[in-house]
Structures are given as structure tokens and as C-alpha cells.
Structure 1
Amino acid sequence: MSHSLFHSKLNTRSNLLLLVISVSVMLFTRCSEDDFNPDPDEEEVEEVEDAHEVEEPGEAAFMVAQVDISTENGAAISSKEDYINCNITISSDKATWNFLGTGKIRGRGNSTWLWYPKKPYRIKLDESSEILGMQSNKDWVLLADYRDPTHLMNTFVFTVGQGLELPDTNNIRYAEVSLNGDYIGLYSITEQVEEGKNRVDINSDHGILLSLDADDGPKLSPNATDNFWSPIYQLPVCIKHPDDVSSARMAQIKSDFAKLENAIKSADYERVAQELDIPSFIDFMIIQELVYNVEVDAPRSMYMHKDVGGRWIMGPLWDFDAGFDFDWGTMYTGHNYFHTHRELVLGTSPVHHTGGYHVPSFFTDLFKNKRFLKEYKERWFEVNDKVMSEYWATTQKYADGFAEALVRDAERWPIDKDNQTEISNMKEWLTMRIDYLTEIIENYPAGTVE
């Protein structure tokens, strides 16, 4: 079927749907930055207008939408690289969130794409649009949450990140998805991590978005031209923006990152504060330890960004279904979490990596500094009581909202766990972990650098 005929048939179908169910189709709006395109085989760059402010979602955020995706000619999605044309219908109990549109879809993820039968997807709309109350963009992610038996791990972390006001923290919604007429279960829908007005809001020409990630770094992706080993801590760095990196631009990014690394190595608070937004670093590391995200060790999916003339800021947060004491011995099947709340990422003495993972010292050398250590402890004692009373309470609303859909997902993708039991285990694990971390953090050894 030609692409034009595909769109013609969609238009006919859309008109019929509008007549039958009286759904108001949202007008596409365009955001104010060039749409960042992480796929090297796509070259389009569009000038777009400012997106209007999105209404507060309120309780609608906890509703489960219905998403129907039909690929061109019913083609199977078998690649993470090649997009397939598709049309998309979204139905929500909040009528203004209903959506009809066209775009492209492909697979996404690393282990989640390779190992698990329920697949995650990446969608690129033909026109930027608000989706389920989230701000306008073309790029969206459907997370399968197959490994995670609670379907809440990323949601909880995003909720904590928003509560701590960590910049550019993702929003999330839930939907039951059908693909070419086949029900494929409960998915979470969230924003793609990328440069953009409604995403990581940095200058489209001169801002920098990096991922510290072993999968995208020079060891596992040696032929890529957008990655490098950092000079001081030998971190695998991948440049996510800009997407076209000249040799001069690469040299400048390496130089900027080296300044940050040298400052952290010195553990001089004032020097570091010139290069790094320290409050964002503190919140970022508190979250990694709170959920026992051992991927700090590799590292994987550790994002950070920097605007023109600004300091490095940690985030956005991403990919937390390997936290919560995940049993890596069963990584090919997943689902096993919460064995003990007493494991540590940073250990009882972060500087010396005592009793924890030997994470790169990029993440721990600042604990040598007395002022940093004082601020880290103060921040923990400022927020630890909010984790369950506020952030988990919000997370529980998502769980209550998708409870019935979760039963249908379990029928479609049966695993050796009861989902509601695992949600209860997650709550108990977090409750015990907060008490445990409070004792650990209170007793971090004193810093040695003024």
C-alpha cells in the first residue's frame, strides 16, 4: 500500500470515528525547538511554533487509556532501527485527550527488546502533539514493563524526581495497547529523553545532552562517532545532543567534561559548584541509592546536560527496572525483586566504596568534601519522610487506576508472580529501606576536604 493511500484510508476511518463517537480531534501544535532526531538515517529538521501550555492533568493522569496501533499493511515490528508507518488512535475517559494521528513505530530498548516476549516501542508522530496531557512532541515511548512485576518502578522514580524538582523529569501515563488488532497488554507511555522545548530544554545549537552508558560507549559501540572515554574517570560517554558531532564540537565537549571531572577529583566544593549544579547531583544520587539502582556501576542510562554558559545538571532520570534488588541471576526471565532492603550502591563509606558497589569515583569523590556531605545528609533528612507519605501515595494512585488492566495484562503475559503481591512487597521494601538508609547516611564518615 502506498503511503498516500495509507493516509487516505486513515482519513476516511477518522471521519467515520468522529461521526460515530463524537470525539474531538486535538489540533496538532508545534514546539519551539527543532525536533531532535536521534536516528542518523533521518535528516529532517523542522522549525516549529511555541506549544501552548498544557492543562494540569489532575486525577486524569491515573486513568488507563486505550491505544490502537495499526501498521502499514499489518507489518510486524521486528527492528529497533527501521520505522514502519502506522496510524494511532487513543481513547481516554478525559475526552480532550482522545487522539487520532499518523506516525512511525519501531522497537526500542536493549535487554528488554532482546530477552522478553513483551516488547517496548518507540513512536515518532508525523506531527507534534500533546499525548494524554503531556506536552507536545513527536517522540514517545511505550514501555512494556515486562521485567517489572509491579509496573511501577519507573513511575515511582519519576514521581520522586518530580517531588524533588529534579529538572526535566519525565511524566508517565498508562494505556492498554492493541497492535494490528492484537491486544498486547498494559504499557506505560512517557517522553523520549532528548533535546527539545518540552523535553531537555537546552539550546538546540549549543546545548549538550550526554548519557554515561556502557552500551552506547566506546567499548560496546566502538564504531560510533558520538562517544568517548572520559579522561579522568574513564567513563563511557555518549553524546545524545547534538546529533551531528564535528571533530571541533567533540573536542569542545570533551574539554567541558574534563573540567567537570577535574573539579570533582579535587573535591573542592567551590570549584565543583562552578561546573556542576550540586543540588541536582545530590538528588540524583539519593534516588539511585534509594531504589538500589546498581546500573550506576556500569554505568548505564545516567543522563546529564548543560546549556550554553551554564553548569552540568544531572538527569533526566531513566530506566529503573534493574533496581529494587533485582536478581540478575534470573535476568533473562526477570520478575525477581525485593529479596533484601539492606544492599547498598554507595556503601557505608562512599569514598572508600565500603560495603557497596565499586561505582565509578565520579559519583563518590565529592563525599570527601565536608560541605557536600553536610548538604547531602540534610537533603536526605529533608525528604526521607516524604517518600512514602507523598511520593508512594501518588504512585499508589497509578496502581489503583490500572488494577483491572493489570489483570488483563497478566492473562496476556503470565509470569510466576502475583502482581498485587509484588506491589505490596515493593511498598514494604521501600518502607524498610528508608529506615535503613537513614541510619547508613547519618553515619557516613566525616569528610576530609574543607
Structure 2
Amino acid sequence: MKGRNICEYKDCSGLFFNEEMKTIYTLSLLLLIMLSGISCSDSSDNREVPEPEVPEPEVPGTDAAYQVAQMNIATENEAPIVSKDKKDYVNCTVTISSTKEAWNYAGTARIRGRGNSTWLWYPKKPYRIKLDKKSEILGLATEKDWVLLANYRDPTHVMNTFAFVAGAELGLPYTNHSRYVEVTLNGSYIGLYQLTEQVEQGESRVAVDAMQGMLISLDADDGPALNPEGGDNFWSAVYQMPICVKSPEDATTEQLKLVQDDLALLEQSIRDADYDRTAQLLDIASFIDYMLLQELVYNVEVDAPRSIYMHKDKRGRWIMGPLWDFDGGFDFDWSTMYTGHNFFTSYKELVLGTDPANHIGGYRVPSFFTDLFKNKRFVTEYKKRWKEVKEKVMADFWRETNLYIENVSGAMERNAKRWPIDKNYRTEINRMKQWLQQRADYIDTVVANYPSGTK
């Protein structure tokens, strides 16, 4: 190589080439450049691959179930609704407009008043609607019978909703749903209502056998004291509680005796605080959840009792529920029951007390609800379950209730103008939230210190 320019034989990287190698290197380089522009996909398809579509994330609370629907009720000849008696139903048409178009509805029905104190004492009336044809309403299962709760006493509009949400979260069977509607009756706006299912036997309601299943209410306003002629009403054999048989409907003498005898067996096992025997007759888990919720919201109507439902299917066990009627809870001031909307004064009042088995520190509720606290195993399970429930009160029950609040607030404002009271719904909702937080903490201490039982 003497006398030759070294650049003829060496590239910039320091490799030595002859002329033939330089040619091969150049061609290889060109080929690599061409190949680098070819896609790994079929070379005959040079179309650009579009970016995958990312679905919009769901915004909590935007579901139509939390929204307010519009309901228009027109009675025949604009007849007034003056009674809650079954014979005084008024023919009407019902139309519903929802934010979800598939939930819009129009049909014929009958309407009457409903309730006890809520019908008699308050200007904003609750109603019972019976559709002429079974229909799905606002996404709820097909049936004829529906309820419009006025919630006039409740300044938050969500006391029943909170209880229904809690019941559903706890898994109590056949817990009612909440839908909010603004109602116009014969052309006049009558405010915000809570639409829910009628508590009754049925495939899409309390699905027990129509002939051999049982649905009863423990209710002083629906029991033998107000129905002296008997019928479907009787005093329970052991605890002398007022009972009304809701199903079988129009029970025969034989069916009525079957309910009486079956309930008496359960009452006796509870009086004996016999856990094993009671567990054969009663779903104890549902009993615990039911009573925990009554105590949480301080529902003193367990005392009378009122609006306490139980059901069982043929050859099954008794189960507590469905839940019903909670606008007398949350530390309601019963001294102002005719005109007041006063709640949340104290979070330290108790239904079952500090020693339920001995009725210490609470209401004198029927011992049907407290005698099991004499049993060590029951008390252990009750305490364990409360620890689980306590964690859900604000994280789950209130969180979902608040979804309704966020979507219903505009209708609450319009309702307040139609039915002005001495309370502001925003203030009362905040008080309810604070009360529940404080009460859950307080009950935590109370339940932890329940006596352990003697049996």
C-alpha cells in the first residue's frame, strides 16, 4: 500500500476496504434504508392505523336513577283526592318524563291518599297509585302498585332514601328503591316526591308464595287495637305484639292460624334465648342487620312497634324486612309531631339501650327485639357485624345518598317554595351528615360495651 492514499481503503470508522467491498457496503446500506420504511404489517396496506377510542369515564351520579323525573297526574274530571280509603280511589292518567327516554311512561291508573299521621296532619299529602296495567316505572320492576312519599316532615328529603341505601348495601332482601319525581296534579305543581314500591307480596316485590308464604307487619296503627273485628289482625302469642297479615291476602281461618302458630314458635325460641333453635326459624343475620340499622338512625317506632315487616316463604325461615318508614328517626322531636321538622338534636339517644337484654338506657321496646342479647353467641356476632357496618356508614351509605342529594337539590329548592317550612334543606342535610358521623362513633362505644350474655 506504499504510496497509496489510505482513505481509499479505510472508512471513517477505521475499517479497510477495497473497491469491491465499498460497492457491496454501499448497496447494503441503501437496502437497509429502504427496508426501514416498510411497516411490519402487510406491505400492500399503507393506511394509517387509527388510535383506539378511549370510552368516556362514567361520572358518579349521572345515572338516571339519581335524577329527578317529572310526573303529571290528571284525575278524571279533575276530581279531588280526599280520602285514603280503598273505596275512594279516583281514576286518573299518569305521565312520566325521565332524563332517560326509555323510562318515559304514560298510562291510566287510580289514585288515593295513604299513610297515617302523614295523611292526617300535614298539608303536603302522600299518595298510593294503582296502575291499570302492570308496568315498569323509572327502571323499577313491573308492578301495579306504587307509592308517592311526600316527606313533608323530613326537611332533608333523604331519610328514607338513606335507610333504603343502607338496607340494599347490607343485603336485606326486597329493600325498596328510591326515585325522585316532581309532581304536577291537575295542572298544579305539588312538589318533590319520593316514588317507591308498595310493600306487598309479588314476584317483583316480596317474592314469597302467595298461598303458603307469609308477609306480616308489626304495627300498632294496623293491628287488632284499630281493627277490633279481627280479620287479618291478631296479638302475637308470646310478646303480645300487634300483627297484621299482609300475605296470604284475605287469609282463611286456617291460614291465619298457621301464621299465628308459626310466629309463636319463633317468639318462644327468642324468649328462651336459644340460639340454635332460633337459627332454625329466623335468619339471624338479617335480624342483626335490621336492628343495627334501626339503632343507627334512632328509629324509635320499634317501640310501638310500627312499620316493622317480616316475611318467610313456605318451609323457609323468617326474615326481617322489607324496611319501611324512617322519617320518625334521626332524633325526631315527637313533642312537635303535628307541625315540627326538628331532628338531630342529640346523637346519644338509644333505641336498644346500653344493656338491651335488661332494657337499660333505651326505649322499652318489645322483648322480641332484645331477648336474644341474653345469648353469648348472638352478642358476639352482633358486635362483630357492627364493626363491619360502622365502616360503611359514611363511606358507602352516605356516599350514595349524597348522589341523590347532588341531583335533587334544584327540585328541593322548588319544593321549599311550594311548601315553606322553618328549616333550610341545605342546613338540615349538613346536620344529618354530621349527626350520622357522630352517632356511628358513639354507637361503636355502646356496642363494644354490651354485656356479653348469660346463656
Partner of 2:413: 407
Q: Does 1:221 align with 2:221?
A: no
Report the Cα distance in structure 2 between the residues aligned to 1:175 and 1:248, rounded to whole angstroms: 42
Relative to structure 2, which stretch is displaced further, 269-278 or 221-230?
Answer: 221-230
Give the whole-Å Cα distance in 2 for the aligned partners of 1:302 and 1:129: 27
Q: Any idea what SS the aligned residue of 1:402 has?
A: helix
CA distance in 2, matches of 1:101, 1:213: 33
Secondary structure of the structure 2 residue equivalent to 1:199: coil
- Answer whether contact 1:185 1:412 (CA < 8 A) is retained: yes
Matches within 5 A, 1:46-65: 59-65=63-69
TM-score normalised over the length of structure 1: 0.87
Q: CA separation in 2, counterparts of 1:185 and 1:68? A: 11
Q: CA deviation at 1:59?
A: 1.6
Q: Within the alignment, does 1:137 sit opposite 2:143 as a pair?
A: yes
Counterpart residue type for residue 197 of structure 1? E
8 Å Cα contact 1:64-1:176 kept in structure 2? yes
Partners of 1:208 and 1:342 in 2: CA distance: 36
Structure 1 Cα separation of the partners of residues 390 and 137 of structure 2: 32
Q: Which residue of 2 aligns with 1:66?
A: 70
What is aligned with 2:161?
Answer: 155
Which residue matches 1:396?
A: 402
Task: State how far apart, in whole Å, the 1-side matches of 2:340 and 2:300 are.
Answer: 15
Distance 1:222 1:159 in 2: 37
Alpha-carbon shift at residue 220 of structure 1 (Å): 2.4
SS in 2 for 1:231: coil
| 8 Å Cα contact 1:215/1:221 also seen in 2 | no
Secondary structure in structure 2 of the residue aligned to 1:398: helix
The offset of 1:219, in angstroms, is 1.3
Residue 250 (structure 1) aligns with: 256
Q: 1:374 aligns with which of 373, 380, 389?
A: 380
Cα deviation digits, residues 205-227 of structure 1 (max 9, x gap): 11110000001111122234111
Corresponding residue number in structure 2 for 1:426:
432
Q: Which residue of 1 aligns with 2:312?
A: 306
Paired with 2:426 and 2:437, the residues of 1 have a C-alpha distance of 17
SS at match of 1:162: helix
Alpha-carbon contact 1:149-1:335 (below 8 Å) kept: yes
- For residues 340 and 199 of structure 2, what CA distance do their matches in structure 1 show? 24
8 Å contact kept, 1:148–1:334: no
Rounded to whole Å, the distance in 2 between the matches of 1:208 and 1:58 is 38
**Distance (Å, rounded) in 1 between the aligned partners of 2:270 and 2:361:** 22
Specify the alignment match of 1:186 in structure 2: 192
1:187-206 equivalences in 2 (<5 Å): 187-206=193-212
Deviations 1:281-315 (A, max 9, x none): 00000000000000000000000001000000000
| Distance of 1:289 and 1:259 partners within structure 2 | 26
2:348 to 338, 342, 351: 342
* Residue identity matched to 2:156: T
2:452 maps to a residue whose letter is A
The answer for unaligned runs of 5 or more in structure 1 is: 1-56
Q: Deviations over 1:365-395 (max 9, x none)?
A: 0011111111111100012111101110000
CA distance in 2, matches of 1:164, 1:246: 35
Q: 3-state SS of the aligned residue for 1:125?
A: strand
Give the C-alpha shift of residue 104 in structure 1.
Answer: 0.3
Q: Does 2:51 correspond to 1:79?
A: no
Q: Stretches of 4+ moved more than 4 A in 1?
A: none
Give the distance between the partners of 2:400 and 2:230, measured in 1 at CA.
40
Pairs within 5 Å for 1:60-139: 60-81=64-85, 82-139=88-145
Q: What is the SS of the residue equivalent to 2:194?
A: strand
Offset at 1:58?
Answer: 7.2
Secondary structure of the corresponding residue to residue 285 of structure 2: helix
Q: 2-side partners of 1:123 and 1:205: how far apart?
A: 25
